[in-house]
Amino acid sequence: MDTAVALVQAYLRMNGYFTVAEYPVLEVTAHAPARTMTDLDILAIRLHREPPAPGGVAVEGPAPALGADLGAADMIVGEVKEGKPRLNPAMRDPAVLKAAFTRFGCCPADLAADLVDELLRNGRVVAPAGHVIRTVAFGNPQHTGSSRGWHTVPLEHIIDYLTDNLRSNWPAIGRTQIKDEVLGLFALMEKSRRASRSRGGPRS
């Protein structure tokens, strides 16, 4: 998996999203072999959760930088770049997005075209089931927030978020066997940092 895509996937998972990375979209015709039209870098969804009852335990929402609407389930169709965040031509191809929408069951096939059209125009659309579908570009932008019709999230924020989250929750995370390679690497760096501090090494 691409390193930047793996980083974004780890970030989204830590924010409560179910993810699929580097998902291939195929074109199939009757008289030619199937061919890959593109790979969608990230597809992710975070389910909507009702507010806790009085006295209940509150669960932290996703990072504000993600720009998620807390009042609905959030589906992200994401593009990941190491440089300036942008969308590849395939990510703006209605046929590609329609295939993704219908394949993942986020809307009926007969409504997919209209939803894709609105997504391409506005960067977000509300599906008939009530969940929000958004285009998000991850990369190293000059500006944060919404840009040219889609939301952007800086990779620098993602790195800082993962580092800070691991540090603040280390008493629990430090005893956990982490299978995710990216989170495992961040955990190893934090463990090494703490070991250096215990030996009287330089503080960071």
Those residues with Cβ within 8 angstroms of residue 159's Cβ, 6 or more apart along the chain or in another chain? 7
- Asked if 3 and 176 count as a contact pair (C-beta separation under 8 A), the reply is no
Residue 134 has pLDDT above 70, yes or no: yes
pLDDT in tens, 147-193: 567 899 999 999 999 999 999 989 888 888 888 999 999 999 999 98
Residue 14 has pLDDT above 90, yes or no: yes
Give the start-end residues of each E strand in the chain: 18-29, 32-46, 74-80, 124-126, 132-139, 145-147, 150-154
For the chain, the average pLDDT equals 84
What does the pLDDT read at residue 40?
A: 87
- Mean pLDDT of all residues in 57-75: 83
What does the pLDDT read at residue 4?
A: 95
- Mean pLDDT of all residues in 127-146: 82
Q: Which long-range contacts (CB under 8 A, 24 or more apart) does 145-152 make?
A: 145/67, 146/67, 147/85, 149/120, 149/121, 149/122, 149/123, 150/87, 150/123, 151/66, 151/67, 151/123, 151/124, 152/85
- Mean pLDDT of all residues in 64-73: 89
Residue 112 has pLDDT above 60, yes or no: yes
Bigger pLDDT: 52 vs 44: 44
pTM recorded for the entire structure: 0.84
What does the pLDDT read at residue 29?
A: 54
What does the pLDDT read at residue 201?
A: 61
pLDDT in tens, 183-196: 999 999 999 988 88
- Written as six digits, the tokens of 17 are 């999203």
